Amino acid sequence: MQDLIQAVSVYAIPVLFAITLHEAAHGYVARLFGDQTAYVAGRITLNPLKHIDPIGTVLVPILILLVSSIGGGGFLFGWAKPVPVNFAALRRPKQDMVWVAAAGPGANVLRAVLWAIVLRVQLMAGLDEAFFAEMAKAGIFVNIGLMALNLLPVPPLDGGRIVTGLLPRQWAWKFARIEPYGLFIVLFLMATNTLGFFLRPFYRLGLTLVDVFL
């Protein structure tokens, strides 16, 4: 139990702000391209309370940390309440969808880089603050993980939206029909321990960008 409390204290802030920034970025870019839905709903904000999903933001990450703390390992992930986006309200729905979808993972890369800078400054300054160093490392891990998961090309994940926006219209329509089964596909990959294989290229990309600042 002590290990769980310690893990929660280290990961709580990185998880909350990783998910919050991810969702707010979707809404902000959607507004730039003409859709006011998220803005009207008050979802373009860095206030975590506006984005928290009790299950995806709190319960699931804690359960994964609990499993990890007793030696079972686990892939830390979670989700927030999706920011509402009316793709039909975008100026160029198909093309702009790509930018709206990419905004979330892009925000996580930026957040991971910021955590890396914090860690770098702390190390250069010789500050002996183990807790904050672990929090910075958690921030990098959480944001790169969230970026990698969301770039998986399976709708309704961001990667699926990006692929849908890039495909020719006749193929995009067929690909988008996978969306109702997207969650089951991800769960199947997790259950068969193959999710990491598909996420590895995205992890490497994110870590390469972070390494520039370390």
| pLDDT single digits (tens) 161-214 | 999 999 999 999 999 999 999 989 988 998 898 988 999 999 999 999 888 877
> What CA–CA distance (Å, rounded) separates 199 from 122?
30
Structural domains of the chain, count: 1
Q: What percent of the chain shows pLDDT beyond 70?
A: 93
Q: What sign has the CA pseudo-torsion 204, 207, 211, 214?
A: negative
Structural domain harbouring 160? 2-211
Q: What percent of the chain shows pLDDT beyond 90?
A: 60
* CA–CA distances in Å: residue 201 to residues 152, 185, 195, 205: 10, 18, 11, 6
Give the pLDDT confidence of 124-171 residue by residue, as tens digits.
888 878 889 999 999 999 999 999 999 999 999 999 999 999 999 999
- Active-site residue, 134 included: no
Residue 200: the pLDDT is: 92
> What CA–CA distance (Å, rounded) separates 126 from 188?
45
Residue 144: the pLDDT is: 95
Three-state DSSP state, 64: helix
Give the pLDDT confidence of 82-119 residue by residue, as tens digits.
899 999 999 999 999 999 999 999 999 999 999 999 99
User: Which of 23, 129, 134, 179 is an active site residue?
Assistant: 23
Residue 108 is which amino acid?
A: N
Query: ∠ at Cα 20 (187, 91), nearest 5°?
Result: 90
Q: What is the pTM of this model?
A: 0.88
- Residue 74, pLDDT > 60, answer no
Task: Specify whether the CB–CB gap between 102 and 44 falls below 8 A.
Answer: no
